[in-house]
Structure 1
Amino acid sequence: MSGSDTSTQSQRELWTRVRARLKTAVGEDVFTSWFARLELEELVEDLVHLSAPTRFLCSWVQSNYADRIVEAFRNDVPEAARLQVTMRVNGQARPRLAPAPEAAAETPALQPAAAPSPSPAPAAPRLVRDNSKGDALSGSAIDPRMTFENFVAGTANEMAFGVARQIAHAAINDTVTFNPVYVHSTVGLGKSHLLNAIAHAVSQADPSKNIVYLTADHFMYHFISAVQRQSALGFKEWLRRVDLLLIDDMQFLQGKSATEFGHTLGTLLTGAKQVVVAGDAPPRDLEMLDERVRSRLSGGLVVPITAFDIELRRAIVQRRADQVNARFGMQFPAAVIDYISRAVISHGRDLDGAVNRLVAANQLTGELITVPLAEKTLADLIRTRDAKRIRIEDILKIVSRHFKVPRNELLSARRSRDVVRPRQIAMYLAKALTSRSLPEIGRRFGGRDHTTVLHSVRKVEQLIKDDLELGQEIELLKRMLEE
């Protein structure tokens, strides 16, 4: 059997039946959490190929639900025997991966999703890891496009850029500079780019270096899987052998994984091993970490990246336009570059997205790239970004101050009414005013389940309907956050 043997229509019908079986087998909540965003890509011989939108979901489903999914397929496809889950990028699934080698019995076979394969960037190692003892453990994928050469520096990020280059230079020469280093900013300002660039520069200069780059969700996945498979000691030993550890998206680290990170951090610093961490808030605001870990991060070098000024935005757009010109021979007039720089004020990803949209509009319609085309093509992007970007951290501060409840109690397990109601309101505001998903909000509120967040949102919505005074109070909080 192959993907070509099954029509698109019949494949959709098959996937609909399998999804129904899975929902019946695991229940509505589990299905929504782990299966709802999966898509069937193809069936090849005995292999079922699914795709998911995130690396963590790929890894979690592959590790925890492979047998159940394959069994659900066997009712219609008796020969189904294996599952492969790859990550979707821009709505398209990555190619199927080569089968993972059998791991040693005492080591969990933890395989990350494949790295992006952009064109025309040169090929790069899919992951950076220590293979000296045949470990199946591995780091997150390194993006070959995120190098120092491709980073656009300006006033907002020049300190972070300089520190990152210094770290890479020191690591290549077996020395340690500032340690630990913590880089923080809101989304899309280049934290991940710098961490990838450090890993890329060091691994290119000295392939023997044991470098591990992990996103927080990958760190949690490895740790949880190791505990489930009774291999936690092997996981700890793997991390403690590194020369350079880079942890991204620190704000998503929760629960026992955060405690394990604290132990790992202490061990690596004692052994003079370089640690670089990135997150969306300063160390003091990382409530999921205990005070000692926050203190150690604060005691290193803390480097903020601030909002981009117009000069940096223009430099980013110009760099992207030059790349488009080199690849497609497509000219971006200075007036268009200036318009994008002034109109798109959020972050670097939106600036890249604005250029990509204009390229697509030109190729699809044949219209010249002009300011009127930019105004028409980017209207929704500009409109959605005009409002102030509200962070969950902003909501916690406002709610804490307004209701006179300490911030740490909003994130605690306390169930007294004077804490529960403000906490529910804060979760409601997080859902209403940010783009965070329910699971993300739950993680930021002390590691709560997404169903707890949903209950809080619905509870506050009902309270607003029943209590006019409370509704006005919540509208006041919204205005305070949006000012």
Structure 2
Amino acid sequence: MVKAGEIAKGAPLQTAGNGADHDGGEQSETAARLEAAWEAIRAGLRRDIGVRLFDQWLRQLSLGSFCAPTGTLDLTAPSEFAANFVASNYGARLTLAWRAQNAGVAEVRVVRRAGAARTLALVPSPATTTAEAPAEAVPVAVPAAQPDGFRPRHDFTSFVADESNRLAFSAAQGLAAPTQPMFNPLFIHGGTGQGKTHLLHAIAGAFAQHSPGKSILYMSAERFMMEFVNAIRANDTMAFKARLRAARLLLIDDIQFIAGKGPTQEEFLHTINDLIDSGARIAIAADRAPQAIESVDKRILSRLAGGLVADIQPAGLELRLAILRARRAASGSSAVGDEVIELLARSIRSNIRELEGAFNKLIAYSQLMGRAVTIEMAQTVLADSLRANARRITIDEIQRACAAHYRIDTSEMRSARRARAVARPRQVAMYLAKKLTPRSLPEIGRIFGGRDHSTVIHAVRTIEALRKENADIDQDIRTLQSQLEG
């Protein structure tokens, strides 16, 4: 047996005789080769994925048992959750890295560490693997239903909440708390890219913090269906059911895709019932409320609605601004000014995922090209996104919005009256028409009661000047623009 100290911290290996097929010299040579390769791999991973992610997930790995005949190496992690996460997110990268080192490693497994002991066992043959490995080092199989793994950056602290998503946010925190949740299951619904999946990953991460030994299973409804069908074909439905029912936290994304599949719905219903009865926690995400999912089994609807149904509304301008400011702070990039942040928040309204993607694209372009992030650069780099999100605001909409804001009749926008109570709202509307529409000055003048283009120019200049010296006018413009832009 070759014992390793804190390999992750560079402690030296100590060797001892072990196994009939390997003498002490061969063991020491193999151990030294593996440890040298591991140090090189760790250095490469730290460089490739960054210090923060490396320290959070990979620094904690240690060398475990090694089976020379099969070339299978175990890397040990401190918990089942950590083993699952690393295997799912970095398993392929680790295997390729070890193969590239030509250290005799063909396959890599990530397993739960046995207590505090960290040992490297050189196993002479597959038959003796169990005997030579630490008794508690149970291999952690990567669930096929967890293809993407949990995303550590999607936690509760990085989720920006306001009135549009606060119920879902608070309910997710409650489901993940150490104490028994008030509502179970939790059903979160909302449009694409509004934060549903973020909350599912946040629930998983928070639950794992206080219950590291408990099984967490995350899958999409599509994956649930595929695995169930494969289990039926392989005549192995019992193993599939056992794995699901062993979960203490079950997270299902995009549940709307399970609708219309009879046997799959039946199994899903039984799974939900068994898990709830056993005290397990369940979180479901969908793009619509449970009652609006077509062709779904009524019993499933009743069971899901029996907990808490929380919706996430589309993010308003203030939330989009807050999310971008939070992303800027998290990225440490002060190069993105407030004017660019406001451009993105006002222009990209479809969903949060696209908004964050646009921000990341600007940061990447700035770093790769060595250019500052300016309004002009953002408009060029994000031209397609800005064009796709552009909404045609009409002058008629502007006139109605301004008339409602200042409490005058819409017809006054086109009248000849010059009283200040009418003229000022009309000038504000002309200013917004020039700023928010592609219409020319003569066109704007004609729509405002057949006025000359010079009248429009005067109105625009007047409002521009007033915005600098009159806080009330400036706030009026901001309010109206925010309202018109969505």
Q: TM-score, normalised by structure 1?
A: 0.50
Q: Taking structure 1 as reference, are residues 370 and 186 closer, same or farther at Cα in structure 2, changes over 3 Å only? A: same
Query: 1:37-436, aligned counterparts within 5 Å?
Result: 95=93, 97=95, 99=107, 137=143, 139-140=145-146, 141-169=149-177, 172-173=178-179, 175-254=180-259, 255=261, 256-324=263-331, 326=332, 329-386=333-390
Please identify, of 252-261 and 359-368, the stretch whose mean Cα deviation from structure 2 is larger.
359-368
Q: Taking structure 1 as reference, are residues 156 and 265 closer, same or farther at Cα in structure 2, changes over 3 Å only? A: same
Identity %: 35
Shift of 1:238: 2.0
**Which letter does structure 2 place at the counterpart of 1:296?**
R
Deviation digits for residues 443-465 of structure 1, max 9, x if unmatched? Answer: xxxxxxxxxxxxxxxxxxxxxxx
Q: Could you tell me which runs of 5 or more consecutive residues in structure 1 were left unpaired when the two chains were aligned.
A: 1-92, 102-130, 389-483
**Which letter does structure 2 place at the counterpart of 1:299?**
G
Q: Secondary structure at the residue paired with 2:184? A: coil
Q: Secondary structure at the residue paired with 2:93? A: coil
Deviation digits for residues 35-72 of structure 1, max 9, x if unmatched? Answer: xxxxxxxxxxxxxxxxxxxxxxxxxxxxxxxxxxxxxx
Q: Secondary structure at the residue paired with 1:149? A: coil
Q: Taking structure 1 as reference, are residues 96 and 374 closer, same or farther at Cα in structure 2, changes over 3 Å only? A: same
Shift of 1:223: 1.1
Number of equivalences: 262
Shift of 1:316: 0.9
Equivalents in 2 of 1:271, 1:280: separation in Å?
A: 28
Q: Secondary structure at the residue paired with 1:95? A: helix
Higher-Rg member (1/2): 2
Q: Taking structure 1 as reference, are residues 180 and 193 closer, same or farther at Cα in structure 2, changes over 3 Å only? A: same
Equivalents in 2 of 1:100, 1:224: separation in Å?
A: 28
Partner of 2:128: none
Q: Is the 8 A contact 1:176 1:273 kept in 2?
A: no
Q: Secondary structure at the residue paired with 1:277? A: strand
Equivalents in 1 of 2:95, 2:296: separation in Å?
A: 35
Equivalents in 2 of 1:347, 1:228: separation in Å?
A: 39
Shift of 1:345: 0.7
Partner of 2:122: none
Deviation digits for residues 154-176 of structure 1, max 9, x if unmatched? Answer: 2211111111111111xx23x23
Q: Is the 8 A contact 1:176 1:272 kept in 2?
A: no
Deviation digits for residues 77-114 of structure 1, max 9, x if unmatched? Answer: xxxxxxxxxxxxxxxx973757477xxxxxxxxxxxxx
Q: TM-score, normalised by structure 2?
A: 0.50
Equivalents in 1 of 2:326, 2:142: separation in Å?
A: 39
Equivalents in 1 of 2:140, 2:381: separation in Å?
A: 51
Shift of 1:257: 2.1
- CA-atom RMSD, angstroms? 2.7
Q: Is the 8 A contact 2:256 2:287 kept in 1?
A: yes
Q: Secondary structure at the residue paired with 2:187? A: strand
**Which letter does structure 2 place at the counterpart of 1:229?**
A
Equivalents in 1 of 2:355, 2:276: separation in Å?
A: 37
Q: Secondary structure at the residue paired with 2:323? A: helix
Q: Taking structure 1 as reference, are residues 137 and 377 closer, same or farther at Cα in structure 2, changes over 3 Å only? A: closer
Equivalents in 1 of 2:139, 2:234: separation in Å?
A: 19
Equivalents in 1 of 2:283, 2:190: separation in Å?
A: 14
Shift of 1:245: 1.1
